[in-house]
Chains A and B, each alone.
Chain A
Amino acid sequence: MNISLQYCHVTVHDVDEALPFYRDALGLTVRNDVAGSGHRWVTLGSDSRPGAEIVLSDPHAGRSEEDGNAMQALLAKGVLPMTIFTTDDVDALFERIRATGAEVLQEPIDQPWGPRDCAFRDPSGNMVRLNQAAN
């Protein structure tokens, strides 16, 4: 018996607005695109870790108006949890993402606690960190 991470949800203001960031800038591949009740759920993954995907959806998907609004405010304020990816070339990936005009939070630096990393905001305000994979 084993267990591994399959889906991790990332709330974004607008899935269409978020897609260029996660697909074109980060380089993830769209695996699934499901629509229903006026909302969309798009999953993205990468070949380097098949099976693990993030799910993009908007704050009101599956929530009441009131809860959706609360989520939307937290998202815009930038206080929702961050997502961390790993890459074998953090500097090259950083340059590619920056070239798309994404909001840079931190250029690549060697952190005192270990990895070399950098950070961006996605178009909605989520923090996305990128770690250099240990060789």
Chain B
Amino acid sequence: MGLDAQVLGEFTHLRRARDLIDRDFAQPLDVPTMAARALMSPAHFSRRFKAAYGETPYAYLMTRRIERAMALLRGGVSVTDACMAVGCTSLGSFSSSFTQVTGETPTQYRNRDHAAIEAMPGCLARLNARPSSVKPSRIREAEPGTGA
């Protein structure tokens, strides 16, 4: 009864690579390094990771970085400092990825109101505020005063 041990083993290896991304997102992290954690070749790893989690490892890394950058921007950090702090080295590509994923520029995001998300404990905000590269943004912060 239950899933094949090989299938479970693959999920476990993919999970360790995903944990590595969540932990070391601010480091220079490339797909071969992630794939090594999962004990797979980079091409196979990218395919299996996408099949398991719905987005490629690189897209997962970028949405993690952007989620962390959003938290820094909400705290008033400058766009350049937020970009560097989350492991992006090019401000131009950071801004365009950010805009593509969230639908607004880092500057627009930094300058607007964030009342709803600031009411959330950080460990939950980290999960819930994480944008998705797959669909249009999963979360839209509620307008102030709209209630639950």
Interface residues of A, Cβ cutoff 8 Å to B? 13, 59-60, 65, 68-69, 72-73, 76-78, 84, 103, 105-106, 111-114, 117, 121, 125, 129
Contacts and interface: CB of A to CB of B under 8 A. Distances in A.
Contacts, number: 54
Contacts of A117: 123
Contact of A72 (B8, B15, B23, B123): B8
Interface in B1-60: 1-3, 7-8, 11-12, 14-16, 18-19, 22-23, 52-53
B122 A111 contact: yes
A39 to B, nearest CB: 10
Nearest to B118: A113
Given A112-B122, A113-B123, A60 B15 contact: no
Given A77-B11, A77-B53, A60 B19 contact: no
Most buried by B among A72, A73, A77: A77
Nearest to B15: A78
Majority secondary structure, A binding face: mixed
A72 B3 contact: yes
Interface residues of B, number: 22
Nearest to A69: B3
Closest CB pairs A-B (n = 3): A113-B122, A76-B11, A78-B15
Given A77-B14, A125-B15, A113 B8 contact: no
A117 B2 CA distance: 34
Nearest to B125: A113
Contacts of B2: 59-60, 68-69, 72
B121 to A, nearest CB: 6
A76 B12 contact: yes
B50 to A, nearest CB: 13
A114 B11 CA distance: 33
Nearest to A78: B15
Contacts of A65: 1
18 contacts: A13-B8, A59-B2, A69-B2, A76-B11, A77-B52, A78-B15, A78-B19, A84-B123, A111-B122, A111-B123, A112-B71, A113-B121, A113-B122, A113-B125, A114-B121, A114-B122, A125-B11, A125-B15
B37 to A, nearest CB: 12
Nearest to B19: A105
